[in-house]
């Protein structure tokens, strides 16, 4: 049963290989990913297909290209953007959830890097409760060490959270960082 479910998800989230189905007139939303597995690799952007050209500009794109709304060109011959190999995925429920999770983790990571010690301790305690792990505790002597350990604990705990918890934590930290800046 597990193999059947895994096969279903793998087929549902397979990268686009047949670009004939893509047409700029439909404004198809897609995700650009730096590898074939969006569970492991990073999404580079969410964009919309603007045009697909088969034989326009043959000296640069011998098999044609796709131009995205953000201005990126995908070479159809070797599936690259600016020489970097990428995969294109349809925007569906699963890829959108993965994208939102990645955005929340990036927001949290940026805010944690700039957070003060008390905010780090609060985030660490929240994550300890949510994940069932033990957060680093201050021992009073090595202030810099406990901050580094808490940041490492936070980074390692984020992927254990669900999307709702990640987005709530990202919003809270962003709001907190805005309050401190004001």
- pLDDT tens for each residue of 112-169: 888 888 888 888 888 999 888 888 876 655 666 778 888 889 988 988 899 999 999 9
Phi and psi at residue 133, to the nearest 5°: -95, 170
Top-confidence residue, 24 or 18: 18
Q: What is the mean pLDDT of residues 79-87?
A: 91
Please determine, for residue 180, whether its predicted confidence score (pLDDT) is greater than 70.
no
Alpha helix (H) residue ranges in 115-162: 117-131, 143-157
The two counts, helices (H) then strands (E), for the chain are 5, 7
Distance between CA atoms of 87 and 81, rounded to whole angstroms? 10
| pLDDT score for 138 | 67
CB count within 10 Å of CB 29 equals 15
Q: Residue 58 corresponds to which tokens in the numbers above?
A: 């043959």
Residues 6+ apart with CB under 8 A from 172: none
Tokens of residue 61, six digits:
């794109």
Tell me which residue of 153, 48, 120 sits closest to 91, measured CA to CA: 48
Nearest to 89 by CA among 154, 151, 42, 153: 42
Kind and range of the H or E element at 85? strand 84-85
What pLDDT does residue 1 have? 41
Q: How many residues does the chain have?
A: 182
User: 39: Cβ–Cβ under 8 A, 6 or more apart, which residues?
Assistant: 98
Q: Say what the pLDDT of residue 14 is.
A: 83
């Amino acid at each position: 049963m597990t193999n059947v479910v895994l096969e279903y998800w793998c087929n549902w989230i397979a990268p686009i290989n047949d670009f004939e189905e893509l047409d700029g007139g439909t404004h198809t939303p897609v995700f650009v990913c730096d590898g074939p597995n969006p569970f492991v690799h990073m999404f580079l952007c969410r964009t919309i297909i603007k045009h697909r050209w088969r034989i326009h500009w043959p000296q640069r794109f011998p098999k044609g290209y796709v131009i995205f709304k953000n201005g990126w060109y995908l070479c159809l011959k070797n599936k690259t953007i600016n020489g970097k190999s990428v995969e294109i995925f349809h925007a569906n429920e699963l890829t959108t959830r993965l994208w939102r999770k990645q955005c929340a983790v990036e927001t949290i990571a940026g805010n944690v890097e700039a957070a003060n010690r008390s905010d780090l301790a609060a985030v660490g305690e929240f994550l300890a409760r949510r994940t069932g792990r033990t957060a680093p505790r201050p021992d009073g002597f090595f202030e810099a060490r406990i901050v580094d350990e808490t940041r490492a604990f936070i980074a390692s705990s984020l992927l254990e959270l669900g999307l709702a918890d990640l987005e709530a934590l990202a919003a809270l930290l962003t709001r907190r960082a805005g309050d401190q800046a004001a």
